[in-house]
Amino acid sequence: MTGVVRPEVDAEAEVTAAGSRVSVSTRVERSGDTAIVVRPSSGEFVDQQVVRVGDRVQVFWREGAAGWALPADVSTVERGIAPRWHLTVAGPAEETQRREAVRARVARPVTLRVNGADLEAQSLDLSEAGTRVVVEAYGNPPLAGTRLAVVLQVEDGALTCAAEVVRQQTRGSRWQLSLHFVDLPENEQDRLRRRVFQALREERAGRTED
């Protein structure tokens, strides 16, 4: 099924750059036939230049029980306190069965096995597909594609799994690592998804109180 279908203003949408496993949760600010403007929910992603002008991205959102995917090109990246990404529609929206890996800010203790040592880290955000963590540097930084042993301390019990490094950045004496969980069982994905939606509800409640 294809057609002129667009996300509604104020809807949540996931934006994924072509060839990347990192999806960014955004809120739709403007939506038209040929262009969409979204605001990333986490400013840290903008600093990492997850998207650049000219990148092809996929925009995923839900409308009722249906999921939709829309190809677009990044035309403008606004930075600063209120970052925005301007996207030019590059094709029709298509209904998809893709289950979006919704991401939220979740700060939890994480242990990483890096260079033969167990390092204590902190998650910056979380989805059922992966997490982004900050950790004190130890030896050589792990390259993209490196597999690490991960223990994530979630409130209802520790999650132990393997994860692949998608992106690494050095900031001073610390690393920021974007990690993609490898072969995570469905029940564990569901557990993380519940935790993410709890965080999103808490974030919305905080905005309402402000």
Q: Which residues of the chain have pLDDT under 50?
A: 1-2, 43-44, 46-47
pLDDT of amino acid 131: 93
Give the number of C-alpha atoms closer than 13 A to the C-alpha of residue 165, restricted to the C-beta side.
Answer: 19
Dump pLDDT digits (tens) for 110-149.
999 988 899 999 999 888 889 999 999 998 999 989 999 9
Amino acid at 11: A
Count the neighbouring beta carbons within 10 Å of the beta carbon of residue 162.
15
Which domains occur in the chain, in start order?
2-96 (2.30.110.10), 109-209 (2.40.10.220)
| Residue 200 confidence (pLDDT) | 76
Q: What is the structure's pLDDT at 30?
A: 94
Question: Is residue 69 a contact partner of residue 94, using CB atoms and an 8 Å limit?
Answer: yes
pLDDT for the residue 1: 39
The number of beta carbons lying within 10 Å of the beta carbon of residue 10 is 9
Q: Please tell me whether residue 46 adopts helix, strand or coil conformation.
A: helix
Write down the residue that tokens 């939506």 correspond to. Answer: 31
Structure tokens at 200: 């999103």
pLDDT value for 20: 66
pLDDT, residue 44, reads 45
Task: For residue 121, list its beta bridge partners.
Answer: 110, 135
Q: How far apart are CA 53 and CA 33, in angstroms?
A: 20
List strand residue ranges (DSSP E) for the chain, in order: 2-3, 12-17, 23-31, 35-40, 56-63, 66-78, 84-89, 93-96, 109-114, 117-126, 130-136, 147-154, 157-171, 174-182
Short-list 30, 45, 32, 1, CA closest to 15: 45
pLDDT score for 47: 47
